[in-house]
Structure 1
Amino acid sequence: MTAQKGKDLLLKLHNGSTYETVAGLRSRRLAFNAETVDITDSESAGRWRELLAGAGVQRASMTASGIFKDQASDETLRAAFFSAALVEAQIVIPGFGIVAGPFQISALEYNGQHNGEVQFEIALESGGAVSFGAAV
């Protein structure tokens, strides 16, 4: 596989009828995390830590920032944040696949300089099972 363009890492939110790409993104970061459950005790071999497989909580999170463009996707973001709703999201990883599932927008920030454009930053946290579909 060849290198992929960062601009092709897309965030799409379901607006009630279709998935729409969030407009104006300049940077994005997708992270997967899994908590561990430590079950080490005095009988653990060689005093090495032992973990309980499959017991920890898994989560996916995404942060992104970009230029506020006053597109339909901006309204979808705002509405989902202020209603604290879970929104179905797709995160397209170019050349790899699509991560999909319910996400909650946990942060929505707007900023701007006197002589610059209005920018926004968002953070999303998974709110249920997330699936992965390989690229075709």
Structure 2
Amino acid sequence: MAAQAGKDLLIKIDMDGAGRFETVAGLRATRIALNAESVDVTSLDSPGGWRELLRGAGLRSAALSGNGVFKDAASDARMRSLFFAGDHPTCQVVIPSFGTLQGPFQISSIEYAGTHDGEATYEISLASAGAIAFAGI
């Protein structure tokens, strides 16, 4: 696979609850982390004393984060309203030449910053709030 442009890794949010997805405005950097906790079932009977993990068990989660330039676009307003409401909108993460992850996420933090001689910026973090589906390319 050829190298991919980082700008093509997109976070999109359902703008109206009806599947109208829009890219979160002003992002400069995006990150997704997929996690699977393991369940250790090692015992004195484990072959050779090696750790054994229980297949298919444990907690799975996804975390999204990004930072960018505040643009006061519709997606910014949607993120703020969802944060204060504590809702779990459907979000998509487009991973170039790989596919799309989609599922409910809770906005766990929004941070705004700025300096006297620079642009207003923000950081956002989202945590999975249910099953995440994957659709490959």
Other structure's SS at 1:86 match: coil
Which residue number in structure 2 is paired with residue 26 of structure 1? 28
1:6 matched to 2:6: yes
CA distance in 1, matches of 2:52, 2:98: 32
RMSD: 0.8
Other structure's SS at 1:79 match: helix
CA distance in 1, matches of 2:123, 2:51: 39
How far apart are residue 42 of structure 1 and its match? 1.1
How far apart are residue 134 of structure 1 and its match? 1.0
2:78 maps to which of 76, 79, 90 = 76
Per-residue CA shift, 1:5-37, capped at 9, x if unaligned? 100111110011411110100001111000000
Which residue number in structure 2 is paired with residue 48 of structure 1? 50
Provide TM-score, normalisation by structure 1: 0.96
Which residue number in structure 1 is paired with residue 123 of structure 2? 121
CA distance in 2, matches of 1:97, 1:40: 36
CA distance in 1, matches of 2:40, 2:5: 39
Amino acid at match of 2:98: F
Amino acid at match of 2:52: E
1:63 matched to 2:69: no
Amino acid at match of 2:75: S
Per-residue CA shift, 1:61-84, capped at 9, x if unaligned? 111000000000001110111111
Instruction: Extract unaligned runs of 5+ from structure 1.
Output: none
Which residue number in structure 1 is paired with residue 88 of structure 2? 86
Provide TM-score, normalisation by structure 2: 0.96
Which residue number in structure 1 is paired with residue 109 of structure 2? 107
CA distance in 2, matches of 1:6, 1:49: 37
How many residues are paired up?
A: 135
Amino acid at match of 2:77: E
CA distance in 2, matches of 1:23, 1:122: 12
